[in-house]
Amino acid sequence: MAKPHWQEEEDILVEDDIGSDHPSYLIVFNDDVNSFEWVIQCFMEILKHTSEQAEQLSIIIHFKGKATVKTGPKNELVPLCEGLLDRGLSAVVEEE
């Protein structure tokens, strides 16, 4: 049997901020203390980012001074922010 010349596309689940018209943003700021490796490790362990996501965000933070690393309901972002702060990163949760 011949294989089709097309591939099935896979649906990707995207998390939405349901129940709030105003999502919050977890923002991390650049500093001269933490290494790229440490920031990447923190993003992977606390935010559950892939290594690629964590690396890209750390580069953006380094060159732009800050970056939004996660969006969602404030009640979900605050514990993540506290986890990053506990590890020495400079982070805040801001609302729109």
Residue range 54-80, pLDDT digits in tens:
999 999 999 999 999 999 999 999 999
The distance of Cα 15 from the centroid of its chain, to the nearest Å, equals: 12
What is the 8-class DSSP label of residue 35? -
Give the model's pLDDT for residue 17: 44
Q: Rounded to whole angstroms, how far apart are CA atoms 87 and 85? A: 5
Q: Where along the chain do its domains lie?
A: 32-95
What pLDDT, on a 0 to 100 scale, did the predictor assign at position 96?
A: 82
pLDDT of residue 45: 98
User: At residue 38, does pLDDT exceed 90?
Assistant: yes
16-37: pLDDT as tens digits: 545 556 899 999 999 999 999 9
Strand order across the beta sheet in which 24-29 lies:
66-72, 24-29, 90-95
Q: Which residue has the higher pLDDT, 12 or 95?
A: 95
